[in-house]
Structures are given as structure tokens and as C-alpha cells.
A = this chain, B = another copy of it.
């Protein structure tokens, strides 16, 4: 649905949005710092964003997202969070690595896939019976290099139930 822009543009929008949430007025210096670029890069990015109708900004004034810019920024952030949560909460990747990966990949995940990923995270993490046992099994698998024999027994026993279910369905 939402039109995609360059990863640079998306990064600026996201940074501006997050800076806005800090409360105080968003400045060029602030954005340049959080994004690790020089100030003229920010100025020229703002000029592009202005043309696109993504921000309101008058010379030497504060940077404010328009409705449109805000929508795009939130969209990017949703993708960021989906990727980050998946990496951290399911794959158990370190926070920093996950954040970095999410920051780079967030620009390229289709809306179809984010939706599915979010459903997956919800399915796994908001399980009514609590954290699924297989997630512990996965962490065991990662750290030991092989499956937990005890859990394999559980899995095996479940298969009988599954078979019954499958037969019922057919």
C-alpha cells in the first residue's frame, strides 16, 4: 500500500520520528548525531523531504514531520520492530546485532512479509499457554549443537495427537 522510498530517506524519517518522541524540538545537529552523518547531509536530506511533503521546515527552524512523513516513518518503524523482535525474541540474537540488522533490512521487507512476520511473532510470543516449549528446544539446539533428547520425546508423543487431528480433518 504505502509507497517505498530510498533507504536513506526512510532512515531520516525514522530518525526524525524517534527524535520527536524525545519531546524537545528536532534539530539538524541532533539528526546528524543520531544518524552518524555530517550536518550538510542532513540539510540536503531535509530539502529532499520538504519537496516530497514529508516534513515542514523553515530555515533555521525546527524539523517537523507532516502527516505523510509520519505515516512513512511509522511504517518503517513497524518493519524495524518486527525484524528486531524476531531476531531477538525468537532467534535469540544479541540486541545490538539484531538492531543493526533490523536497521538495514527494514527498508526491504515487503508489507506482505512484515504482516506475516508480525503474525508469527504474535503466534509464538503471545501463546495463551505461555512461551512455547519448542523455543527452549531451539535454544538448546543452538547452544548444544543437537536437540534436547528429553524434548524429542515430548515432540514424539505429540505426533500421535497430531496424527489423530489430521485424520479427523480428512
Which residues of A pack against B, CB within 8 Å? Answer: 87, 90-94, 97-98, 100-101, 104-105, 107-110, 112-113, 116-117, 119-120, 123, 127-130, 132-134, 136-138, 141-142, 147, 150-152, 154-159, 161-162, 165
Contacts and interface: CB of A to CB of B under 8 A. Distances in A.
B109 A101 contact: yes
Given A93-B116, A133-B162, 4 more contacts: A91-B113, A119-B138, A129-B156, A130-B159
A123 B141 contact: yes
Contact of A165 (B134, B150, B165): B150
A105 B112 contact: no
Main secondary structure of the interface of A (DSSP, over half): helix
Given A134-B132, A158-B154, A94 B112 contact: yes
Given A108-B105, A110-B100, A128-B152, A90 B134 contact: no
B101 A110 contact: yes
Given A113-B91, A120-B91, A155 B132 contact: yes
Contacts of A132: 134, 155
23 contacts: A87-B113, A92-B116, A93-B112, A93-B113, A98-B113, A100-B110, A101-B110, A104-B108, A105-B109, A119-B141, A119-B142, A120-B138, A123-B137, A123-B141, A123-B147, A128-B147, A128-B155, A130-B159, A133-B165, A134-B134, A150-B165, A151-B165, A154-B161
